[in-house]
Amino acid sequence: MSEFDEHQDDSELEWGKSKSQLKREMLALQDLGKQMLALSTDQLNTLPISDTLHRAIEESRRIRQKEARRRHLQYIGKVMRQEEDIDAVRRAIEAFHAGSEEHTRRHHLAERWRDRLINEGDGALAEFIDYCPGADIQHLRNLARNARRDAQKEKNTGQSKKLFRYLRECIDEGEQP
């Protein structure tokens, strides 16, 4: 074994990243920058990013010319490479998207329960009480009856919307961690 082999550690064995790998990483950071541009100002303010990156994103939102925007996204990628905890930023953005998906799922679930309560009556009511045991049975029965009456008379007095809101409240309370 030579003297060179004795002093080698794992970090010395790496030859560095290829040009293609560096370019893939750069493009991934630019895509992350695009995702940050799509966030609302409130969401952007909650991200764990530096003031430099925050200002760059705000400035990029004002740029309308396509080529200038592309160059500015490259700048955002450079700032992220130098100053940011990329994994923390990525996790925060994913949490925004996951929250949005969860909101949509609960919304559709409440819609399905509302339709079942209006169309199926007490059978669906019993199943909903099993699903959300904290729901006020009497209040729910009244809301469902009023919404069913509106549907039969082909009127819209807002009873279906009231039922939906109450179902959504029950689902949100029942599914909280």
The pLDDT tens digits of the residues spanning 42-59 come to 888 888 888 899 999 999
168 part of a folded domain:
yes
Q: Which of 59, 84, 109 is at the close of a domain?
A: 84
pLDDT reported for residue 111: 92
Q: How confident is the model at residue 14 (pLDDT cuts 50, 70, 90)?
A: low
* Residue % of the chain over a pLDDT of 70: 91
Q: How confident is the model at residue 65 (pLDDT cuts 50, 70, 90)?
A: very high
Q: Please say whether the beta carbons of 5 and 52 come within 8 A.
A: no
- Closest to 33 measured CA to CA, from 62, 64, 63, 54: 54
Residue partners of 5: CB distance under 8 A and separation at least 6: none
Domain around 34: 18-84
Model pTM score? 0.51
93 part of a folded domain:
no
pLDDT reported for residue 11: 46
pLDDT reported for residue 176: 60
Q: Which of 84, 116, 132 is at the close of a domain?
A: 84
Quote the distance between the C-alpha of residue 48 and its chain's center: 16
3-state secondary structure of 94: helix
What is the CATH number for 47? Answer: 1.10.60.30
Tokens, residue 74: 């490259």
Residue partners of 97: CB distance under 8 A and separation at least 6: none
* Residue % of the chain over a pLDDT of 90: 24
The whole-number average pLDDT for the span 98-118 is 86
Structurally, how many domains does the chain consist of?
2
119 part of a folded domain:
yes
The backbone torsions φ and ψ at residue 132, rounded to the nearest 5 degrees and listed phi first, read: -125, 85
